[in-house]
Amino acid sequence: MDESRALEVTAARAYESAEPVRALWSDADRAWASRAAAEVVGAEGSSDAFLARRASFVLERLGERQPLLARAVAALRWRPWVASAIVGFAFALGVFLDQVGSSQRINLLAPPVLGLIVWNLAVYAIIGAGHVVRFGDASSPGPLRSLLARAAGGAARPRGDEAARTAITALGADWARRAAPLYAMRAARILHLAAALLAAGVLAGLYLRGIALEYLAGWQSTFLEASTVRSLAAVFYAPGAWATGIPVPPVPEVEAIRAPGGENAARWVHLMAATVALVVIAPRLLLALVTGLVERHRATRFAFSADDPYFRRLARGFRGGAARVRVLPYSYAPAPEALAGLEAIVARSFGGSAAMVVAPPAQWGGDAPPELGGASGATLVALFNATATPEREAHGAFLAALARKRDEAEAIVAFVDESAWLARFGADEARTAERRAAWRTACAESSVPVVFVDLANADLAATDAALDAAIGDRNA
């Protein structure tokens, strides 16, 4: 998947995961987008192609309803002209940067390109040291992530819907995290090219001015003798002498140009230019090529984690049809409002076309779940009432028996309905925390993740996030 499509998929995920956007994007819309994308891609299409096509449908319909969302995606798209502008400005700056001055004299001990060479050698040392220090560690380009997040946020600054701005903020943070490695390589490529073109511009300016002006080369020093100056020049200009075949003058000629003396600086300019070309321009272009190849690889092979519950659910729906959810209550008969909450959660988290089946409640003390014929590949949800105190011999045994179905099921998770509990003890936070801790312990003994939810007043966004985390932990 390339960068552009990856951005659209990330945007679709951010918008669909943001609760405020549900006023614009219903579960029916989600099901339509999945169905339409599957029809276009076809049964032989890849999951990446399905995700990309589905994201384009999501953004097209959402963009019509809320233009701020489309503007945020446009703000995050990369514009190649930015790199061209930066590199062009660097070259122009180099051309107009007069490092010789009105004296028109080039000091061999402080040549006008000395700063360029020293700076670039320092950069090479920092790059090398950085690779050694960070070898094997994941990079964390914080400033790049902040810049990307601000780019998305800038689209939401004009007056608009608060819900859209919330979704855009989520998009900016998510894309900054996912695209930071790509943008790190992109920034490196641009900076290497800019450095090379800045040096090329300096040399171009030096030669252009040398056509109309005569530069004189010389040196002066309180402490150094001609032999020492000649040795220093031989070392400093060694790359240029090797490339051009122009030798560094012998000691008598170097002594002859000691201030106030001097000579036409043409050969020294050639030595400086060749040295800069070998020490600055060539390495920078090579680094730009390497980082450019890495950038291209990352931009054309953008990968999404298969462990992300959002993408896993979509891919499962594309490959295996509608999701199936089996709810297994234990010594608890859900009230109608609780069942309605369950249906809303399943539609939100598994798609509007998901099929939910609620089994008859298991009797207290029964340690075996009901027969699960045809449940292979389904998500199994053990449903408990928070008012019940979890007991190892009852609830724990039921969870352990259910956990033995792990290889058959898509996922196993426990829901603890807090509707009745919160109605009676909602004001007692300490007691609620103690009861949740007891349920966590009971579920952890069977390695079954647990989600606490008030089914009578379900917070769909929070439950969706908790369910994603629980399923993600199970598949880690």
What DSSP letter does each residue of 366-412 carry, written as one string? --SPPP-TT-TTPEEEEEEETTSPP-IIIIIHHHHHHHTTTTTSSEE
Question: How far is Cα 122 from Cα 193, in angstroms, rounded to an integer?
Answer: 17
Quick check: 315 pLDDT over 90?
Answer: no
Of 183-192, 257-266, 346-355, the one with minimum mean pLDDT is 346-355
**Mean pLDDT throughout 258-279?**
93
Q: Poorest-confidence range of 146-155, 291-300, 320-329, 412-421?
A: 146-155
Task: Enumerate domains of the chain plus CATH numbers.
Answer: 3-78 (no CATH), 80-300 (no CATH), 322-474 (3.40.50)
Pick the range with the lowest mean pLDDT from 243-252, 451-460, 464-473.
464-473
Q: Are 304 and 1 in contact (CB under 8 A)?
A: yes
pLDDT of 476 strictly over 50: no
Cα-Cα end-to-end distance for the chain? 24
pLDDT value of residue 475: 39
Q: Is the peptide bond preceding residue 260 cis, with omega within 30 degrees of 0?
A: yes
- Could you tell me the pLDDT band of residue 136, with boundaries at 50, 70 and 90? very low
pLDDT at 137 over 50: no
Cα–Cα distance, 171 to 76 (Å, whole number) = 10
Highest mean pLDDT among 37-46, 435-444, 452-461: 435-444
In the predicted structure, residue 144 carries a pLDDT above the cut 60? no
- Candidate ranges 67-71, 161-165, 202-206, 307-311; pick with highest mean pLDDT: 202-206
* The predicted structure's pLDDT at residue 158: 46
Sign of torsion, CA 356 362 367 369? negative
Q: Is the pLDDT of residue 160 over 70?
A: no
Which H/E stretch holds residue 41?
helix 27-41
d(CA 409, CA 380): 7
Q: Which residue has the higher pLDDT, 352 or 129?
A: 129
Residue 55's pLDDT is: 92
- Name the token pair of 33: 């987008």
The proportion of the chain whose per-residue pLDDT surpasses 70, expressed as a percent, equals 86
| Cβ–Cβ under 8 Å, residues 364 and 315 | no
Q: By C-alpha distance, which of 165, 150, 153, 148 is closest to 66?
A: 165
Average pLDDT over residues 192-221: 93
Q: Which residue is associated with the tokens 């009852």?
A: 394
| pLDDT of residue 109 exceeding 60 | yes
Q: What is the pLDDT of residues 3-16, one digit of tens each?
A: 999 999 999 988 88
CB-side neighbour CA atoms (13 Å) of 47? 15
CA distance 10 to 173: 10
Q: Indicate whether 108 pLDDT > 60.
A: yes
Residue holding tokens 């032999």?
227
- pLDDT tens readout for residues 363-414: 886 556 666 555 567 888 999 999 999 998 889 889 988 888 888 888 899 9
Q: Mapping DSSP to helix (H, G, I), strand (E, B) and coil, where does residue 220 land?
A: coil
